[in-house]
Chains A and B, each alone.
Chain A
Amino acid sequence: MTDTTEKAAVEPAPGPAAPEPAPAPRPARLWRGATPWLFLLAPLTLLIVFTYAPIANMVAYSFTDWDGVSPELRYTGAENYAELFTRPDLFEVFWVSGYYLAASVLQIVAALYFATILSFNVRFRNFFKGVLFFPYLINGVAIGFVFLYFFQDGGTLDSVLGLFGVETDRAWLGTPESANTSLAAVSVWRYLGLNFVLFLGAIQSIPGELYEAAELDGANRWHQFRHIIAPGIKPVLSLTVILSISGSLSVFEIPYIMTGGATGTETFVIQTVKLAFQFNKTGLASAAAIVLLLIVLAVTWVQRRLVPDDKVDLA
């Protein structure tokens, strides 16, 4: 409790010109000033220790050649950043994100389609909704194994193709193109459900009378989508786009679990993790992490500028 009064003392007590009409007795006022900080003590400490301190440290490390263990480190200026942008093998991994970006376009379109049809009266609606959403809840490692089995030689995919009379001895995870496409498809399988449920929620919050009125005016399903649903889900759509872009840039789990980054499936985050924890290049890894962080923040900022929260509909 002594800590309380100390905290309060740090807070400059408002002078006599304070706006309160009838100033409370002094100790009470100090107590009131300190109360919110007491509630915020633990949350702010954790926030600073585990989010802001790491970012600050990371900026500092990124200008050094520190290996993460030895007490010595040398200031190297912008060398790490120069290495990152000039060594082609370090920056190349960003192209892998292209597969996931393309996949997320597909994912958004599919999610939008299923959300639209399931917002109308469909039999077994809850069943379909549950089935589409469930993969999002499954443990990533389990998904990794399910799809390693799916893609392996003689696995689920080959068996299914065999049913249709297609015999392949193709190694689905064998070449960079095929492997990245397969992994991106797994990512669609996993994350489609979240997009779908977000869209569905947005569509269902549109008042039903709008559809009835449109139907009376002779609008078909496409018109209803174009003029009622599309404007209604714009905020959620822009949020989804942002999540997809930053998600595509920071893909980690699925490729790490399934291929460990082999056969050209290494993503930027896998590379950063390897640099930091396998090759002990903390400095270079920090620079990489800062670059990714800046890109993600920039994308978010652009989105906030393009689609402000209190949007004005152009329609």
Chain B
Amino acid sequence: MTRRAVARALVYLSLIAATVVVLLPLAAVLLTSLKSEREMADGSGALALPEDLLNFHNYVTAFQDGRMLSAFANTAVILLFAIGGTVLIGSMTAYAIDRFTFRFRKLVVALFLVAALVPGVTTQVATFQIVNSFGMFDSLWAPIALYMGTDIVSIYIFLQFVRSIPTSLDEAARLDGANAFTIYRKIIFPLLKPAVATVVIVKGITTYNDFYIPFLYMPSEDLGVISTSLFRFKGPFGAHWETISAGAILVILPTLIVFLCLQRYIYNGFTRGATR
């Protein structure tokens, strides 16, 4: 019995240790973001409490000088188009692949399958030239097109859900004279709501967090998204850790709120997305 108790204690100890490891770096940044420039200069140490816990001065600086407002606006535009496009494209592809038999169907499926294995970072060398030749370089359209066009995971998620919708529904509608587009719009798409929710969440978070594509395709400062705008803090705020910290917290906060509200969907979504 005592051995069991010791084992139990060790289990909780390891969990608490992990919690500290995860939260401590974040807590230190949160504390730093609330400190004044003078406190930082005094070298109070990363874990010392700030004098004024409600000192939001650094957040104002980060928001105004760090162009975080336009960054959030640009990110919102990209999110809207990229997610909308992904949902439409993914659900249409899944519907076509699952509900129709046509020539080259196997080839089409294979094309999508193999594309899922290609790591996106490697092909940017050549993708860049194509995006550039379309005149999309340094515009919001570059990331939007890339996020829409290269998301295979969403197609898989939609495919799983389309499969679970009984074909008898399609057939009944067809007997009533509905054509394929009506069936897609009126029957399949409304039943895909859980899949849409999953894709919106997973796609939303990965798009919000992506750094590489906006960094590569949108060098203009006006086109900063939250990742690239935060990255630019490195220059002007070089040694001003209190401002950089405030910027980092500003970026993390929306994620935390979304996570707390939608926990269950997020776990399911990422599990589904990774295991396909």
Chain A: residues with CB nearer than 8 A to chain B? 11, 32-33, 35-37, 39-40, 42-44, 46-47, 49-55, 57-58, 61, 68, 113-114, 117-118, 122-123, 126, 128, 130-142, 145-147, 149-150, 152, 154-156, 158-160, 162-163, 189, 194, 197-198, 201, 221, 236, 239, 243, 246, 250, 252-253, 257, 269, 272-273, 276-277, 282, 285-286, 289, 292-293, 296-297, 300
- Known contacts A39-B95, A43-B92: A33-B102 contact under CB 8 Å: yes
Query: Which 5 residue pairs of A and B lie closest in terms of their CB atoms, listed nearest first?
Result: A46-B149, A39-B96, A36-B100, A54-B126, A156-B28
A197 to B270, CA, bound (A): 9
Interface: B69 (CB within 8 A): no
A252 to B122, CA, bound (A): 11
Which residues in A have their C-beta under 8 angstroms from that of B95?
Answer: 39
A242 to chain B: closest residue by CB: B117
Whether B46 and A159, one on each chain, are in contact in the complex, defined by CB atoms closer than 8 angstroms, is: yes
Interface: B43 (CB within 8 A): yes
- Known contacts A131-B18, A145-B29: A122-B11 contact under CB 8 Å: yes
B226 to chain A: closest residue by CB: A139
Give the contact-size bracket for chain B.
Answer: 35 or more
Interface: B259 (CB within 8 A): yes
Which residues in A have their C-beta under 8 angstroms from that of B252?
Answer: 138-139, 142
Main secondary structure of the interface of B (DSSP, over half): helix
- Known contacts A11-B103, A36-B102, A50-B150: A133-B47 contact under CB 8 Å: no
A135 to B21, CA, bound (A): 11
Whether B47 and A47, one on each chain, are in contact in the complex, defined by CB atoms closer than 8 angstroms, is: no
Main secondary structure of the interface of A (DSSP, over half): helix
Within 8 A of A (CB), among B72-106: 88-90, 92-93, 95-97, 99-100, 102-103, 105
Which residues in B have their C-beta under 8 angstroms from that of A277?
Answer: 128, 216
A233 to B97, CA, bound (A): 30
- Known contacts A36-B100, A159-B47, A201-B267: A276-B128 contact under CB 8 Å: yes
A87 to B29, CA, bound (A): 42
Which residues in A have their C-beta under 8 angstroms from that of B216?
Answer: 273, 277
